[in-house]
Structure 1
Amino acid sequence: MKQLLLAFFFFCYGNTIGQIVRISGAINGLSPKYIVLVGYNGVEEFPIDSAYVQLPNGFFQLNTAIPYSGLYKLLIEKGQNRSPDKYIDLILKPGDDISFITQYPHITDSLTITKGEELQYFTRFTKQYNQVQYKIFLLEDVLRKYPSNDPFMSEINKNLSRIQSEKKTIFQRYRDARFPLANRYIAMLRQWDARGSDFSKGFYQGIDISDTLWVHNVLLHQKIGQYYNYLMAENAAQDFKNMNKSFIDQILDPLKSNELLWKNIFQYLVNAYKTMNYPDALEYLKEKYLTDGVCADPSQSIDIDQILQSLNALKEGSYLPNAVLKAPDGSDQIFPKDVPSSKANLLILWSSGCSHCRESKPFWIDLYNRYKQNGLTISALHLESDVGLWKENIKTLPSDWIHLHDSKGWNGYAGVLKIFGTPAYVLYDTDKKLILKTYDIKEVEEKIKKLL
């Protein structure tokens, strides 16, 4: 299986297997579990090799061929289910052996590397940066929680300014020309750090996207996720279809000069929209980009039609499946079988902790008030496990709605409908046949207008 994963990686990215790298270490205090060396191909993490950690000193050794020079993770697995408990960031190059000792559970702070100068350099930077960043996080948290006119706040602001200056000094300190690979990763972090979370000037403002090392750095994907959430928060009109088109264009179009990164981010977006069940976005990716000169590459191995077919298993005109859900009085309700229906019936899937749901409530109520005289019915399905919180929150919604609760959450009726985000909308007719499944309330209203 390991060879198959590596073969797939090399086929897609055109690399050749480098020399064997020997990674040895002792993780003191770790019970006998596994360590796993993990790479990153720009879309997902993939395992390269693993080793058993020996007792009593937590010693292990890996002799493995690495597919690229760059950033890796060494996952330290603890527990019977072999789930990652800690990890170490490693910069690896073919032929560059690594040896280290660390004290579990304080892995990062206690990491001592005896080989691999570039890794030593990168680890020193990471340790100092994380320590300063943690202090900044604590001080900013205090500023958020306490009144700005509190006399104590002036002292907090002084300390915050001092530590932020200290962070700038750390970035300036780590510019050793002997370690170009580590410096490139540090530069990536420095760019985002200087940029912050202000996306008002565009996503890539101040970011050098020409470096192919972005392919092996999950930081870019984290920022893409932050940007998507930023756009969602800004999208008060709930026009998700056009928002997704704009988002895709802003992410992909500037990358065409970096072909390797473009292909990876394209596939990343396809996978993300598949997970979120956004067929409209997948259709847009297919129509605008799949035949593009940059993307027309068989090695991309993306069959959007197949993904869409899978997502659209519940198609327009098919009967909604029934599910046993809970009513506010605790009784069982078979939905949609036991629910009265008309020409237009809307199921809203929501949760109390969803900020977009809270922001959307006025739109839901306004929609209902304008169309209820024409026969619109609304059922609201709550997906969180906290029944008390659900009952408290439905007080803010019309009492003549059909309120339902699914204790299985995403693994219940939402999973059957292939809903992966909230708020989501399912419109069906008097025969309980699907008319529309979407995340866009405007699209719902357009359909309701035609039906009523």
Structure 2
Amino acid sequence: MRKFFAFAMLVALVASCAGTKQDNTVKITGTIENAIPQGEVILEKFQIGEVSPVFTAYSDHNGNFEIETTIDGPGFYRINIYGKQFETLILDGEDLKVEATGEVDGPINVTGSDDMQYINELYDYLGGYQEKVQDFNQRYIQARNSGDTQLVEDLTTEGLAMEAEKVKKLKEMAWNYESSLVSLLITDFIPNKTDEFLFLDSLSQKLQKELPSSKDVQFFSTQLENFRPAINVGDIAMDITLPNPDGEMMSLSDLRGKYVLLDFWAAWCGPCRRENPNVVNLYNKYKDDGFTVFSVSLDRGKDKWVEAIEKDGLVWPNHVSDLKYFQSEAAIQYKINAIPFALLLDPEGRVIGKNLRGQFLRDKLESIFGE
């Protein structure tokens, strides 16, 4: 069953009573292979946190049904067939045709508009990407179980590159789909919206011009501010002053004059722990050239924090935490909602890299210090 998408708008739809089609009237006709005579086929609209029924039709003995309703602008809907099959729709004035099996997990096809063509293209791309992810996960697990640390490191870099390529492709699709709410639907698959804020802001402005009557676009635009990053490349990093494991206060600003990796992590964070050997190697390689690490832990307990520092060999002296998890003063200040998160700072404290990990961090430091 395909994923349901909720882009919440409080828009009431009224079934059309007129016998002739108006500009804001949409007709959905369909055929269900495994028909249930008088079975319910419900058109539903995505609302805030829920889907609400708009129109209920009943299929005949041959599985045929018809829905006709009015809309006051493009919006996200769902077709619910017998409570067994569900499919996301975008209604924007064009009539649609539905072909379904009427069985759980059975294929369902909706045609008749550019929007539905775009949705199918999105599903096809994501399906192909998921197959790549499954293959990658198998190779990663095998490498980890075999203890091949070099292969695990190489695969980590490969995985990060795969994800970056996916985001690049989704951004291209979202931008190129003219006047379509599918562009909004695509943003649901961009995981780190803070890192992509500038793109999302540009997309929002574009869609406001193309779809000025869409309340979904208006809602997206009003919510976008929540993803504005606390800091961008080129900004001076805000100072952080927190206690180290011995209770002594340490400040990020004390490290001015060095290149600093400002690293948010925690003992409980698996990806953080897997990245630590890479950071240790780079610290040992470039510490005499003016590189260091300022580690901010989002742990809750001191024992686990200190144990992870020792176990992972995090030998630099700059470890701080207020042991408040994501309610840490530093996490709130930097709008951290997921870790690992890291910033690379130049000697003036200016951000010159965000979320550099694995080979990407090695390449950046090599460009600064040489091999």
User: TM-score with structure 2 length normalisation?
Assistant: 0.54
Return the alpha-carbon distance in structure 2 between the equivalents of residues 429 and 236 of structure 1: 26
RMSD of the TM alignment (CA)? 5.3
Identify the match of residue 273 of structure 1 among 189, 192, 199. Answer: 192
Aligned to 2:293, the other structure's residue is in SS state strand
What is the letter of the counterpart of residue 368 of structure 1?
Y
Of structures 1 and 2, the one scoring higher in RCO (CA 8 A, sep 6+) is: 2
Superposition map of 1:97-108 within 5 A = none
Counterpart in 2 of 1:187? Answer: 85
User: Post-superposition shift, 1:236?
Assistant: 0.9
Alpha-carbon displacement from aligned partner over 1:194-231 (angstroms, at most 9, x marks no partner): 69xxxxxxxxxx88576989xxxxxx9xx99x969959
Counterpart in 2 of 1:16? Answer: 13
Q: Does 1:243 align with 2:167?
A: no
Superposition map of 1:227-376 within 5 A = 236-237=156-157, 240=160, 243-247=163-167, 249=169, 253=173, 262-268=182-188, 273-274=192-193, 277-279=194-196, 282-283=197-198, 296-298=210-212, 299=214, 300-301=217-218, 310-311=228-229, 313=231, 316-324=234-242, 326-329=243-246, 331-337=247-253, 339-376=254-291
Return the alpha-carbon distance in structure 1 between the equivalents of residues 303 and 267 of structure 2: 11
Identify the match of residue 295 of structure 2 among 369, 380, 401. Answer: 380
Q: Does 1:427 align with 2:325?
A: no
Return the alpha-carbon distance in structure 2 between the equivalents of residues 176 and 368 of structure 1: 70
Distance 1:303 1:291, change over 3 A: closer
User: Post-superposition shift, 1:265?
Assistant: 0.9
> Any stretches of 5+ residues in structure 1 without a counterpart?
1-5, 20-67, 76-88, 97-116, 119-174, 196-205, 214-219
Return the alpha-carbon distance in structure 2 between the equivalents of residues 229 and 347 of structure 1: 32
Return the alpha-carbon distance in structure 1 between the equivalents of residues 111 and 172 of structure 2: 13
Q: Is the CA contact (8 Å cut-off) linking 1:323 and 1:334 kept in structure 2?
A: yes
Higher helix share: 1
Q: Percent identity?
A: 14
User: TM-score with structure 1 length normalisation?
Assistant: 0.46
Counterpart in 2 of 1:216? Answer: none
Return the alpha-carbon distance in structure 2 between the equivalents of residues 179 and 373 of structure 1: 74
Aligned to 1:273, the other structure's residue is in SS state coil
Aligned to 2:80, the other structure's residue is in SS state helix
Aligned to 2:320, the other structure's residue is in SS state strand
Identify the match of residue 313 of structure 2 among 378, 384, 397. Answer: 397
Return the alpha-carbon distance in structure 1 between the equivalents of residues 177 and 365 of structure 2: 44
Identify the match of residue 44 of structure 2 among 38, 53, 70. Answer: 70
Q: Is the CA contact (8 Å cut-off) linking 1:368 and 1:376 kept in structure 2?
A: yes
Q: Is the CA contact (8 Å cut-off) linking 1:385 and 1:408 kept in structure 2?
A: yes
